A and B are shown apart, each in its own frame.
Chain A
Amino acid sequence: MEIISTFTIQNRCLYSVLFDTVIGTLDDEGNPKPPEELHEFQRLFNFWNDAIALNDFFEQYEEDLQNPYWDGITIDEAITKTQKEAKKLKHILIEYAKNGKTKNLSMLFKPLSKGGYSSLEKDKVKASGPKTWIRLYAIRLDLNLFVVCGGAIKLRKTLNDRDYLLKELDKLEIAKQYLLDKEDHELELFELY
């Protein structure tokens, strides 16, 4: 998997990468969309607003959904919850962009521990009230400069025991190498929400 290009979401604040293997989203005619339109940030928002894709996802991971942590949520409720979370995030980002509150981006992203899960995240989820599960994963280049490299619906505590979550960690590493031009620098990994 390689990165083809990068896209501007918010100038000088938020960027997104485009991988060469993007699957899933269809255009209005039901045909696969050209990859230019499916950089990670857009792909994730499309996914979180696509009832069929969400239905398939939650049917596949219904076992994770049945974890007592999610309070017996049904598939229908899970689909709606995801769409609502995405809508809330969209509103926040639109508000930031319109009002130039881009410095607040650093308040949305939290450091991602190397194992993909730490007590920090647990505390964060508890402190934030409602349990959210949509995630954007990004590399931080500056205090308020992030490059989105992936994201997910995180139903598990860690990123390490589901293929689709492990893939996100791989993507972060690929993006890191792409940005660094294969040189060895330490770039921090972050997650949003």
Chain B
Amino acid sequence: MSIENIKKKLFSQSKESGWLEKAIWSQENEDWLDLSFSIAVKILSALRENKKADNSLPKNQKELAEVMVCTPQYINKLLRGQENLQIETICKIQRILNIKLIEVPSNTIAKTIQFQPSEIWIGNLRSTSPAITSVGIFSKKAFEETYAMGA
């Protein structure tokens, strides 16, 4: 068969793969898919470490399913790294394996506080306080504490 005939056969007989559509979908969902994959890698790593240690459980997918009280099929699906995981599930695995899988960065609030010169009356004395200008980044906790004290 000539190369031209091979090409004709290929063009006419090949089925549509749908690969591009799937690839575009996974590209559009890459943020959570990547996170799911990273979580799966970390869980697999913890199971591998437990396997090396004598007394640690769970050591494999089956044991993890037992402790999680779910089916091995679900664990298998989850560990492939393409599952849209619930936060509850992630927290449960964190507790069981005693590992950190996700963490939300602590909040910081950028705040500009300007204290205008104010007149202060003490008895019959009248004075003007100096202008105080403070620009800083406060942690949410510190910010709340500051304003709670002022309130």
Contacts and interface: CB of A to CB of B under 8 A. Distances in A.
A178 to B, nearest CB: 10
A75 B48 contact: yes
User: Which range holds the interface residue count of chain A?
Assistant: 35 or more
Given A51-B40, A80-B38, A179 B10 contact: yes
A42 B19 contact: yes
A6 B13 contact: yes
Tell me the dominant secondary structure on chain B's binding face. helix
B141 interface: no
A188 B133 CA distance: 74
Interface string A5-39: 11111101001100000000010111000001001
A31 to B, nearest CB: 9
Interface residues of B, number: 36
Contacts of B3: 141-142, 185
A169 to B, nearest CB: 21
Interface string B1-40: 1010011011101111101101110110010000001101
Contacts of B94: none
B92 interface: no
B127 to A, nearest CB: 64
A163 interface: no
B1 A180 contact: yes
A42 B7 contact: no
16 contacts: A5-B13, A7-B19, A8-B17, A12-B11, A29-B73, A36-B15, A42-B19, A49-B26, A52-B40, A55-B48, A59-B48, A80-B38, A83-B81, A141-B7, A179-B9, A180-B1
What are the 3 tightest A-B residue pairs by CB atom distance, in nearest-first order? A30-B73, A51-B81, A51-B40
